[in-house]
Copies of this chain bind each other. A is one copy, B any other.
Amino acid sequence: MKGSTGTMLLTLLNRQPLYGYEMLRELERRSEGVFSLKEGTLYPILHSMEAEGWVEAYWEAVNGRNRKYYRITDTGSRVLKQKKTEWALFRNAVDSVIGAEFKRQAESSQSMGGGRFR
């Protein structure tokens, strides 16, 4: 794990509000088991993102359990966009250096950054 955890969590929250425990399972599912965060990793991150104003928390009782949901803020959305751009830059730079055996091909989906990496 190397620092893109925040980006991934913001991405999840960008779709819909989630509570902590749910994020753990969702992240593990989407990464096909590669990322299995522990609570001790997740919660401090959520707290600091809340302190930064990237997410907002609210409590909700569901099925007799208290859950602390997090929703992304406008600031958080802007940060996410920036972080995605940074990730793409970082990833492509690493691949350039180590000579990745996979090539990237531009796709027609939404534009994140400059998007003419190869």
Contact = CB atoms under 8 A, between A and B. Distances in A.
Interface in A86-115: 87-91, 93-107, 109-113, 115
Copy count, this protein chain: 2
Interface stretch (A7-15, A41-49, A54-62, A63-71): A7-15
A3 B110 CA distance: 29
A78 interface: no
Interface of A: 1-4, 7-8, 11-12, 27, 30-32, 34-35, 84, 87-91, 93-107, 109-113, 115-118
Nearest to A117: B99
A98 B32 contact: no
Contacts of A34: 89-90, 93
Q: Which 10 A-B pairs have the closest CB atoms?
A: A2-B2, A34-B93, A2-B3, A31-B93, A102-B104, A101-B111, A8-B97, A11-B98, A99-B117, A30-B97
